[in-house]
Amino acid sequence: MIDDDRIQFRVTQAHFRNFQSATYELEWAATYEDGLARLLAGGYEACLLDYQLGPRDGLQLIREAIEAGCRTPIVFLTAESSDRVDIEAMNAGALDYLVKGEISPRSLERSLRYALKLGETLEALRQLATRDQLTGMLNRRELDRILAEESERAQRFGHSLALVMVDIDHFKSVNDTHGHPAGDAVLRRVAQRLATQVRTVDRIARYGGEEFA
């Protein structure tokens, strides 16, 4: 939970203890900076995020976290009902919106359950859109997007950027001699081997056919 109000955190803790069908462990981040750092570190199933966080607000935090790659489902909290804030929160990337004064254990549990399920669905769709179905690596479209993003970042900060291309020699003969199922198995095996040879910050993509990047 990211909220600068300790009392609200205690109230939310009490709601958690009264959940009927689920058990969650609630942690508290009292500042924008701490909340953002925890979100980006990962390891959370969901996040309750307050609108007002000192000089900055929760909408800014959502945008910054998502831009940095955060995929944690976020439920947005605000003190007053507002269609404008509701719409802005959804557009920023929140999966649900709750008014603090109207929250009950039942409504909070329902909201978290809904956000988790929707988050799983969105992640599955994201995987379909960005992953090569045969190897599980990034696909060409996602690689192009990442290259454009990383190139812009490298130019902005004056950093270098490295791209390695890998091609499987004589791959056509594998398909011709042993059949396409064997060729597919080779592609999957090469992808697995590549994944063991890179750093966690590196990306691997199937560029096309028997080519990887």
Q: pLDDT (tens digit, 9 = 90+) per residue, 11-40?
A: 999 999 998 887 888 999 999 999 999 999
> Over the range 190-212, which residues count as b (16 or more CB within 10 Å of their CB) and which as e?
bbeebeeeeeeeeebbbbeebeb
Residue 128 has pLDDT above 90, yes or no: no
The CATH number of residue 29's host domain is 3.40.50.2300
Neighbours of 88 (CB within 10 A): 18
Do residues 34 and 85 both lie within one domain? yes
Kindly state whether residue 1 falls inside one of the protein's structural domains.
no
Three-state secondary structure call for residue 22: coil
Do residues 102 and 168 both lie within one domain? no
Kindly state whether residue 108 falls inside one of the protein's structural domains.
yes
Do residues 115 and 15 both lie within one domain? yes
User: How far is Cα 72 from Cα 152, in angstroms, rounded to an integer?
Assistant: 26
Q: Which residues constitute the domain of residue 185?
A: 140-212
Average pLDDT, the chain: 90
Final residue of a structural domain among 130, 160, 194 = 130
pTM > 0.75: no
Catalytic residue list:
210
Kindly state whether residue 45 falls inside one of the protein's structural domains.
yes
